[in-house]
Amino acid sequence: MQTITAKVETKLKKRPVASAQLQPGEFLVVMAGKAYGIDAAAPAGNNHTKVSLAANSGTFFAFNDHWDGLDEGRELIAKTKAEVIFGNLIDDSKLQDLNACLNRYQINTAARIRHFLAQVAQESGGLQWFQELASGSAYEGDLGLGNTEPGDGPRFKGAGAIQLTGRANYQHFANFIGDPSVMQGVAYVAVTYPFTSAGFWWYDNKLNAFVDQGATCREVSARVNGRDPANGLDERQAYYDKACQVIV
């Protein structure tokens, strides 16, 4: 469980606004040094992070500069830049998950972000698809994917921007982030963790280190797609070139 600690006397707020804009009852005063366990954190704009306190103690907004432990609240990619790269609008919930993903998996240098965004852009068709289009029946009974129960193929078909597939991989992801609801299946992951699930694959396969070694877009694409040249390599390269122009 993640912990955040107040660096100064501050507030946990019901809205991500300046303290002067809050009404009585819209905040909790927190003394310096007070620590809270949190179950989730996501960027909320205006230099605030939306935090869900542990033990179902409520959801609040915390001003980033006043707290230690809010790394997942940093905005590493702005909405306008993301939309230029993806070539489509991105809604706030997906943008929050994208930034949480970049922070959680330390995709936090220009090179890492460029390569990651290029791959998820191509894999999702520029934010069009976060669920595999096929039914998933082809995975039914695939023991290599851990699909041991009836219905596992469709339930655990590809989800997220880099498609997480199979009961075993879903369980691995659920264990890593501490969310058993992942095992509800494809719809839950696609909506709740469209990028975080992709970042998990990226992290698990040590793509940050590969990028740091100077890997090219073609080389990263081959790792992601499993073949060289990768399917859609020209599109991946085009997204990468755009990301290089936007992220400097």
Dump pLDDT digits (tens) for 67-110.
888 765 678 999 999 999 999 999 998 998 999 899 888 898 99
How large is the average pLDDT for residues 103-129?
94
Dump pLDDT digits (tens) for 140-149.
999 999 999 9
What residue ranges in the chain does DSSP mark as E strands? 2-6, 10-13, 27-30, 35-45, 48-53, 59-63, 67-68
CA separation for the pair 126, 22 (Å, rounded): 38
Pairing assessment for the beta strands 35-45 and 2-6 based on DSSP bridges:
antiparallel
Question: Is residue 64 very low, low, confident or very high in pLDDT (cuts 50, 70, 90)?
Answer: confident
Size (the chain), residues: 248
CA separation for the pair 224, 202 (Å, rounded): 8
> Where in the chain are the domains?
2-73, 79-129+195-246, 137-192
Q: Which fold would CATH assign to domain 2-73?
A: SH3 type barrels. (2.30.30)
Q: Is the pLDDT of residue 38 over 80?
A: yes
- Between the alpha carbon of residue 216 and those of residues 5, 115, 206, the distances in Å are 40, 9, 15
Dump pLDDT digits (tens) for 42-58.
766 677 888 899 988 99
The residue that leads in pLDDT, 49 or 153, is: 153
Question: Is residue 182 very low, low, confident or very high in pLDDT (cuts 50, 70, 90)?
Answer: very high
* Beta carbons of 39 and 53 less than 8 angstroms apart: yes
Residue 86 has what pLDDT? 97
Task: Compute the Cα dihedral for 234, 238, 239, 243 and give only its sign.
Answer: positive
